[in-house]
Structure 1
Amino acid sequence: MKLVFTLLGALLMVGCGGAPLTDRLEHYEGGGACGGTAANTSISEQMTAAAVDDTSATWAYVLEEGEEAIFTRAWLSENSTQSIDIQYFIFAMDNVGIIALDYLIRAADRGVQVRMLIDDFMLDVEEEDVAALNAHPNISIRVYNPNVGENTFQKVRGVVSDFKGFNQRMHNKTFIVDGRVAITGGRNIADEYFDYDQDYNFRDRDVLLMGTGARDIQTSFDAFWSHPLAVNLVASEAAGVDALEFYRSVQAYACDPENFWPEIRALIDGIPDAIPHLIEAGRLHRLEGMRFVSDVPGKNDAKGYSGGGKSTEALIDLVASAQESVMIQSPYLVLTDLGLTLFADAVARGVEVTILTNSLCSTDNLEAFNGYQRIREELVGSGVKVFEYRPDAEIRKRLITAEKQARSGYVPTFGLHAKSMVIDHSTTVIGTFNLDPRSANLNTECVAIMSSAAMAGQVESLMREELDPANAWQTTPFSNPDFHAGTAKRLSTWFRGIVPASLL
């Protein structure tokens, strides 16, 4: 029976390819002149002007809003002069993905060296797209832990023969420009992470780091890029494509105001003017301490589905040493006995432990929610304060600044995707780590651990606001909000109980 479930899971996860981007953009021709072709001001010049160029320090700026997160990445790409290195679990060829691709191609046209490292499992690129991108002398693409095989049968056979190896994915998310500025956090590259989806959007969080912290992230990226698990993505000779026409089509799509509004481009152009205001408002923080902790490629070589990793150990140490409070946001909350004991011990020594996770109404992952249901009663019973995100959280009207959503009335479901902690009102953790066995033992993860009372206060204040009844339901030993989801979704979630907790 176990083999049957393994095979079925493999078949479901391998999936099928979609239409190449070259076909989807066939109606866009000729390119355009909506974006800059050369850097208007270098990132180094901006850092000097903002007095954040001390090479021995790290400055941090928290990216709470999806639209701000996308135009910050766009401005950094447009003003890069040397290199752009990106590492993502998901890089979707949807609206946001195509616009991001346009900025990367424009940077490469200026001579910037662009390296893209994407996890193979969630790669949304067809062979023709690979051929076009690889044709550019300044763009290199590698995939992490590719599932080897010339057809679906061979790939499924590979999954079944090494199921743990297949499940060891790269969940890191980093965006590094000129080796001096980096963004890390929960966001992948897809519409729903930047408030551009019309059905479901994630409430997420990134942090922009300048200085020493950015260099540490660069070192981590280089380690992944040079590892044998990072394999060059090469298209066959049969995947003939006109690369220049491909680039022009991508540019024409991005220049269409229906796809990327002129108002957003105006915000991108206005970033240099906004920086002094951010400093004046106290939102650009000079950190007292900073650690970037990343798992090594391959995570661990322990037998079975355990073994942990550097990120797991770092987070356990933080919770175990907390003296006053632990505030957590995690979209998935599937704890092992070790995790349950860790939080119970913290409560027992007088630490206030508060966790916000998704409700059944807001979650995008029914398997993970089923895993959470299995431990919810014990977790709440230990004294941990647990809240579940509302799909219609009132705060979305402030966090979703995209004009596109304002005009539609904020209809899409709002689901939590931020992976953050604030410890003792002084240490902030922003990264990719979900509180589940997959992050703990299988996926490579990364977290930025930052010491700054001012920054911790800023992040924690917003996290506490999200616990208000208009934004979340509190779970108690006597009640939970599952009934809001309706019978069909509750039943569908119940059936997910067949999935072993170690794989969630």
Structure 2
Amino acid sequence: MICILVRHALVRIAARLALLGVVAFLAACGSLPAFKQMPATLSLPPDAATPLAKIVAASTPPGEHSGFRLMPLGVYSLDARIELARRAQHTLDVQYYVIANDGAGGLLLRTLKEAALRGVRVRLLIDDLYTASTDQMLLALTATPNVEVRLFNPFCCARGSLAGRFAASAFDIHRLNHRMHNKLFIADGVMAVAGGRNIADEYFTLNSAQNFIDMDALVVGRVIAELATIFDGYWNSEEVYPIAAIVQPYAGRTVMASDFDARVGIGGPAPKVVLPPADVLGYGPIGEEFDAGRVGFLWGVAHAVADPPAKLRYMTGEEAFATSVTARFWQQLLTAENEVVLTSPYLVPGERGMAGFKQLRDWGVDVTLLTNSLAANDEPLVHSGYARYREKLLTEGVDLYELSPARTTRNKRLGIFGSSLGRLHAKTAVVDKRLVFLGSVNLDPRSATQNTELGIAVQSPQLAREMLRIINISKLESAYRVRIDPPTGKLEWLSMDEDQEIVLYDEPESSWLQRLKINLLGPLVPEDLL
């Protein structure tokens, strides 16, 4: 599974290293370059004459601030990125935690190269944690004119595997525990895609084994300038290195554009993304509206926030939290007067989060949380961190729902999952049916004090209405409601099947081995690693 946070990798890799006994030997293998030649570059001013700028101008009512088109359907979200890249004329600024070596990753990278060959300046920034299978392809991409690729917080050496990377940097774990979890795609300085999706098949319902329910938005308007400033801050930060300073071609070869072409099959026709005629909100493929010259958006006042790239480098844990997207996310939640509805795939509130939820409930605010069940969670040990707080949340009066893989597979409204497992990955919140928050931040300790994150807050009752509609589809049709049975004090999981209430008394759809693992190992994992 590609979309796992570094906490999961650390647990597994530490076990392997202990067995191999090679940590001390490999730790001395190398270090990052002491000097890097990396000229600062900034976002270019938008050109009103570009096709995308003309579409934005035609789509924007007088006096509006920022526009949003929610994209709950994975294939629509992938298609939006491809359409933007194909229509861009000046710039593409792209920032991701993961770009996988698979169909979706290859298609996007191919499209970026094609844009560069048209004269578009492409700046591609990727976190280095999961580049073991892509760094040679990314290095080869830089042989294309107008393309620059940079790595965030890179590993120094032993780059052929994730285990080898950590082994070779065993005394540098504090630095490497700091990852860039942001997701952002800006075209011509006038349109962006932001939200929770990385670039891999499972985020776009293209994986045969497991796929995510997730959320992105197509964004236009004044908030684009804020997103561009955030991108520039990361692009020029001390944590970033040009890929050529870190990655060497295999066998001392010269980096050649043909190497990239061979890897993504650029000599043949581009793969086609099969699109349904409409998504659950009634919107059609975005390309059709681009062709018509006008796009329907929902409008509101929006602001983008991101963690500083140097999070923790010069900060204590408390200072990192104070400047974090998580802290500003909680500031928005605590403005609620009536209700908060929140989705987070990794839900480990900690004592600070529990105090926030208790405060909301003391004020009489209804709180609804949707997260993954044990069966839906791609890492059971993370579920153990959530399970520590589950009964406390219920006791405070929180309405708690856990996603069911089986019910998600049967529910076709958010994508065709086939026989694959359905998992939650959307990070969203709605406050008082007026304020929407979406982005990359999970409600867990890692997002709060370790990873960098990106979020957008939007004041828009219309957008809130659409977001609640999407959340309710998962909550009511694809999830279990969790409650405490008053007579016994034990947990129960409720669902409705064919108008009949079903009550379960163990973690639903989970195996005895999964339950044993979290019961035995869960209490041993420090919460700040979750």
TM-score (norm 1): 0.84
Mapped partners of 1:90, 1:156: distance in 2: 18
Equivalent in 480, 484, 500 of residue 526 of structure 2: 500
Q: 1:305–1:442: 8 Å Cα contact kept in structure 2?
A: no
Q: Per-residue deviation at 1:98?
A: 0.4
Q: Flag the 1:492–1:352 CA change in 2: closer, same or farther, 3 A.
A: same
Identity of aligned residues (%): 29
Mapped partners of 2:166, 2:111: distance in 1: 36
| Corresponding position of 2:118 | 110
Give structure 1 stretches of 5+ with no counterpart.
13-39
1:479 corresponds to 2:494: no
1:8 corresponds to 2:14: yes
Mapped partners of 1:262, 1:421: distance in 2: 30
Q: Per-residue deviation at 1:239?
A: 4.2
Mapped partners of 2:135, 2:180: distance in 1: 21
Q: Per-residue deviation at 1:150?
A: 5.0
| Corresponding position of 1:15 | none
1:419 corresponds to 2:431: no
Equivalent in 234, 244, 249 of residue 262 of structure 2: 249
| Corresponding position of 1:79 | 87
Secondary structure of residue in 2 paired with 1:44: helix
Q: Per-residue deviation at 1:8?
A: 1.3
Residues 19-34 of structure 1 mapped to structure 2, 5 A cutoff: none
Secondary structure of residue in 1 paired with 2:194: strand
| Corresponding position of 1:43 | 52
Q: 2:75–2:274: 8 Å Cα contact kept in structure 1?
A: no
Equivalent in 343, 352, 356 of residue 342 of structure 1: 356
Residues 325-364 of structure 1 mapped to structure 2, 5 A cutoff: 325-364=339-378
Question: How big is each residue's C-alpha offset from its partner over 1:450-491, in whole Å with a ceiling of 9 and x where there is no partner?
Answer: 0001110111122123221x3110111232441431212212
Q: Per-residue deviation at 1:236?
A: 2.7
Mapped partners of 1:10, 1:431: distance in 2: 33
Secondary structure of residue in 1 paired with 2:199: coil
Equivalent in 166, 171, 177 of residue 176 of structure 2: 166
Q: 1:396–1:414: 8 Å Cα contact kept in structure 2?
A: no
Larger deviation: 292-301 or 87-96?
A: 292-301
Mapped partners of 2:100, 2:182: distance in 1: 16
Q: Flag the 1:157–1:70 CA change in 2: closer, same or farther, 3 A.
A: closer
Q: Match of 1:43, as an amino acid?
A: L
Q: Per-residue deviation at 1:6?
A: 9.9
Secondary structure of residue in 2 paired with 1:122: coil
| Corresponding position of 2:338 | 324
Mapped partners of 1:254, 1:286: distance in 2: 42
Equivalent in 425, 428, 439 of residue 436 of structure 2: 428
Q: 2:143–2:257: 8 Å Cα contact kept in structure 1?
A: no
Q: 1:77–1:107: 8 Å Cα contact kept in structure 2?
A: yes
Larger deviation: 234-243 or 262-271?
A: 262-271
Mapped partners of 1:156, 1:499: distance in 2: 19
| Corresponding position of 1:458 | 466
Residues 173-212 of structure 1 mapped to structure 2, 5 A cutoff: 173-212=183-222
| Corresponding position of 1:375 | 389
Mapped partners of 1:55, 1:96: distance in 2: 37
Give structure 2 stretches of 5+ with no counterpart.
1-9, 19-48, 278-283, 485-489, 494-506
Q: Flag the 1:73–1:156 CA change in 2: closer, same or farther, 3 A.
A: closer
Question: How big is each residue's C-alpha offset from its partner over 1:362-408, in whole Å with a ceiling of 9 and x where there is no partner?
Answer: 1112121111111111111111111000102357401115xxx5xxx
Q: 2:101–2:134: 8 Å Cα contact kept in structure 1?
A: no
Count of residue correspondences: 459
1:285 corresponds to 2:262: no
1:137 corresponds to 2:145: yes
1:491 corresponds to 2:510: no
Mapped partners of 2:194, 2:309: distance in 1: 17
Q: Per-residue deviation at 1:128?
A: 3.5
How large is the Cα RMSD of the aligned pairs? 3.0
Question: How big is each residue's C-alpha offset from its partner over 1:327-361, in whole Å with a ceiling of 9 and x where there is no partner?
Answer: 00000111111111110110111000000000111
Secondary structure of residue in 2 paired with 1:68: helix
Mapped partners of 2:173, 2:191: distance in 1: 37
Residues 383-398 of structure 1 mapped to structure 2, 5 A cutoff: 383-394=397-408, 396-398=411-413
Q: 1:7–1:160: 8 Å Cα contact kept in structure 2?
A: no
Q: Flag the 1:274–1:70 CA change in 2: closer, same or farther, 3 A.
A: farther
Mapped partners of 2:384, 2:74: distance in 1: 28
| Corresponding position of 1:58 | 66
1:228 corresponds to 2:254: no
Q: Match of 1:94, as an amino acid?
A: D
Secondary structure of residue in 2 paired with 1:260: coil
Q: Flag the 1:366–1:100 CA change in 2: closer, same or farther, 3 A.
A: same
Relative to its length, the structure with more helix (as a share) is 1
Mapped partners of 2:230, 2:211: distance in 1: 29
Q: Match of 2:88, as an amino acid?
A: S
Equivalent in 423, 441, 446 of residue 438 of structure 1: 446
Q: 2:182–2:440: 8 Å Cα contact kept in structure 1?
A: yes
TM-score (norm 2): 0.80
Q: Match of 2:298, as an amino acid?
A: H
Mapped partners of 1:126, 1:196: distance in 2: 19
Question: How big is each residue's C-alpha offset from its partner over 1:385-433, in whole Å with a ceiling of 9 and x where there is no partner?
Answer: 11000102357401115xxx5xxxx211110000000001100000111
Q: Per-residue deviation at 1:209?
A: 1.1
Q: 1:330–1:435: 8 Å Cα contact kept in structure 2?
A: yes
Secondary structure of residue in 2 paired with 1:399: coil
Q: Match of 2:526, as an amino acid?
A: P
Q: 1:131–1:239: 8 Å Cα contact kept in structure 2?
A: no
Q: 1:192–1:200: 8 Å Cα contact kept in structure 2?
A: yes
Mapped partners of 1:246, 1:55: distance in 2: 49
Q: Match of 1:400, as an amino acid?
A: G
Larger deviation: 263-272 or 296-305?
A: 263-272
